[in-house]
Structure 1
Amino acid sequence: MADQKLVLDAKGVYYRQLNERIRDAVTGGVREIELNNVNGQRYIFTGLKGELSLKINGVPGQDMAAFMNGPSIRVEGNAQDGVANTMDDGKVVVNGIAGDVLGYGMRGGRLYIRGDVGYRVGIHMKAYKEKSPVIVIGGKAGDFLGEYMAGGSIILLGMFSDKPYAPICGRSLGTGMHGGVIYVRGPVPDTQLGPHLTSEPVDETDKARIREMVTDFALELGLDAQHILAESFFKVKPFSHRPYGNMYVPC
C-alpha cells in the first residue's frame, strides 16, 4: 500500500471510523488520499504531519486540519466551522464557502477560501518563529474578522460572493488586533473597523506580498490573478501593539 493513492467512500461512515481508516493508511505509507461523499464528518486530517495530500469531494465537518503540520488538503465543495484550527503548517484550499472561526490560533501555513466565510475568521492568529500564517478569502467575511490578531496576514477580496449587496466585511473588523496585517481589496468602510485601527493604502512592500499570496491563491483555484490585482488594496493595522494598555492601572 505504501506510496499508493487510496480512495475511500465516506458515505454513511461515522467520523471516528473514517479518521481511523485515514490514520491507518498514513501509518501504512499512503501519502495521497481521496475521500468521496463526505457529509459533515469532523476532524479530518487533524494532527497529521508530513507531506500528505488529501482531496475531499463533499462537505467536511468541523475542525478539519486542526493542529495539522505539513499536509495539503483540497476541498471540492464547502466546509463547516473551525477549518485549520491552530494549524502549524500546510495548505488548505476550499473551492466553495466556509463557516465560522476558520484559522483560530493559526500559526503557520495557508488557508484559501474561494467564496464567503462566516464570523470570527482568523482570530488569535499569530506568527511563530519563521512561520507566518496566511488566509485568503475570495468572497466576503462576517463580523470580527481578525479579532485579537497577533501575526500573519489576511487578504479579503470580496469578489466571489453570493451576497452582492452586503459590505465586504461585517462589523468590528480587527477588534483587539495587535499584530499582523489585514489587506482588503478596495476601500474599507470606516463603520466596519474595530476600535484602535487605521486603514491606509498599501505601499510597494505590501504590494509585493499581496502579489505573491494572490498569485498562489489564483493558481490553486483557477482564477485570474491579474484581474484580482487590478484593484487597489488597503491595509488595516493597529495603532499600537497594546490596544487596551490604557485600561490597566499599574500596581
Structure 2
Amino acid sequence: MLENKKHFVCDNNKEELTLGTLHFQEANELIRQKLAKCSSLILRNVFAQRYIGCAMPMGKSIYVFGTPGNDMAAYMDGGSIEVFGNAQDQIGNTMNDGVVVIHGRCGDAAGYAMRGGTIFIRDDCGWRVGINMKQYQDKCPTIVIGGNAGNFLGEYMAGGIILLLGKAGSYLATGMHGGVIYLRKNIDLSGITDDLSICPLDDSDETKITGLLNSYSENFGDELDKFTLPDIEEFVKIIPKSARPYANMYAN
C-alpha cells in the first residue's frame, strides 16, 4: 500500500525506524533525530507510543505501521502523518496545520481544540471528536469521518468543518457556537437541539464537500468495497443559531 504511493516512491530522502516496545520518550527522541536529517520517516512495529509527530514542522512526513498512542500530531505545524491501521485518542490535539490520514478508526477526542489542518478517518471514530475546534482568519480545521461517530460529535465547536459520512451518536454538537457540521439526510436528525439549525447547502458548501469527498476517495477509495462518492444532494448542514448559546443561562 505505502510502496505504491507515487510521492513516496519518488522521495529519496527517507529513513525507517522500528519502535517495538521502546518507551515513548525514547521513541520520540529518535524520531526527532531522524526527521532532522530526512524528509520522510517510516515507523514500523508501533505499539501505542504517545506524542508521535508532536509539533512536527512543515516539509516532513511520517508513515506509521502499527497503532500510535494518544496525542499523535499534537500541536503539529505542518507536514503529514499517515497511519496504516487504527489510532488511539486525541489525535490532532491542538493541531495547527498539516494533514493526518488514518487507514482505520480512531478513538475519542480527535481534533481536540484543533486550530488548523485536516484529519481524514477512513472508518469510525469515538466520542467527542472535534470538541472545542476553533477557527481564526484563514485557518479552518477540518475533520472527515468515513464511518460512524460516537456521542458528542462537535461538542463546544467554535469553528471549522466536520464532514460525517456515517451516523452520528447522541448529543450531537452540544454547546456548538461556531463552524459547520455536514451530515447525510438519511440519518436520524430528530435529536438536533433547538440551539442548532438544519440548513440546505449553498454553492460554497457544495464546493467544500466536493473537495473533501474527492480527497477522501483518493486516500481510501481503493480500500473500500464498491465505494462510490455520495451525491451532494444527500447532505445537509448543521450550524448554531447563536455564537453565545449559554449567554442567558449564566448571565443577564
State TM-score, norm by structure 1: 0.90
Equivalenced residues, count: 238
Specify the alignment match of 2:19 in structure 1: 10
**Contact 2:185 2:234 survives alignment (8 Å):** yes
Shift of 1:227: 2.6
Partner of 2:52 in structure 1? 44
Alpha-carbon separation, structure 2, partners of 1:91 and 1:139: 19
- Residue 133 of structure 1 deviates from its aligned partner by 0.7
Where do 5+ consecutive residues of structure 2 fail to align? 1-11
> For 1:234, which of 229, 233, 236 is the aligned residue?
236
Report what 2:246 is aligned to.
Answer: 244
1:188/1:234 contact within 8 Å kept = no
1:55–1:169 Cα change, 3 Å: same
**Is the 8 Å Cα contact of residues 130 and 154 (structure 2) preserved in structure 1?**
yes
Contact 1:146–1:173 (CA under 8 A) maintained in structure 2: yes
Cα shift at 1:248? 3.2
Q: In structure 1, how many angstroms separate the alpha carbons of the residues matched to 2:60 and 2:231?
A: 31
2:23 counterpart letter in structure 1: Y
Amino acid at match of 2:242: S
Q: What is the one-letter code of the residue matched to 1:241?
A: A
For residues 132-184 of structure 1, the C-alpha deviation after alignment (integer angstroms, 9 at most, x for no partner) is: 011000000011000111111000001xxxxxxxxx11111011111100001
CA RMSD of superposed structures (Å): 1.7
**TM-superposed deviation, 1:188:** 4.5
Query: Residue 170 of structure 1 corresponds to which residue in structure 2?
Result: 169
**1:222 is paired with a residue of what secondary structure?**
helix
What secondary structure is seen at the aligned counterpart in 2 of 1:228?
coil
Show structure 1 runs of 4+ deviating over 3 A: 223-226
- Distance in 2 between residues matched to 1:249 and 1:54, nearest whole Å: 47
1:20 counterpart SS class:
helix
Which runs of structure 2 are paired with 1:17-56 in the superposition (5 Å)? 17-27=26-36, 29-56=37-64
Tell me: CA distance 1:225–1:151, structure 2 relative to 1, closer, same or farther (3 Å). farther
DSSP 3-state at the match of 1:236: strand
1:149 and 1:176 in contact (8 A); partners too: yes
Match of 1:164 in 2: none
Q: Is the 1:87–1:107 contact (alpha carbons within 8 Å) kept by the matching residues of 2? A: yes
1:54-203 map, 5 Å: 54-158=62-166, 168-203=167-202
Percent of aligned pairs sharing the same letter:
46
Aligned equivalents of 1:225, 1:73: Cα separation in 2: 24
1:170 is matched by which residue type in structure 2?
A: G
The separation in 2 between residues aligned to 1:193 and 1:17, in whole angstroms, is 46
Which amino acid in structure 2 is aligned with residue 101 of structure 1? A
Flag the 1:113–1:38 CA change in 2: closer, same or farther, 3 A: same
Contact 2:213 2:229 in 1 (8 A): no
What's the CA shift for 1:230?
A: 5.9
Deviations 1:8-62 (A, max 9, x none): 11112111111000111122x2110000111111100111212101100111000
- Structure 2: how far apart are the matches of 1:230 and 1:179? 22
Q: Name 2:210's counterpart in structure 1.
A: 211
1:232 counterpart letter in structure 2: E
Uncovered stretches (5+) of structure 1, i.e. residues with no partner: 159-167
1:231 deviation in Å? 5.6
Question: Against the structure 1 CA distance between its residues 219 and 225, is the aligned structure 2 distance closer, same or farther, given a 3 Å change threshold?
Answer: farther
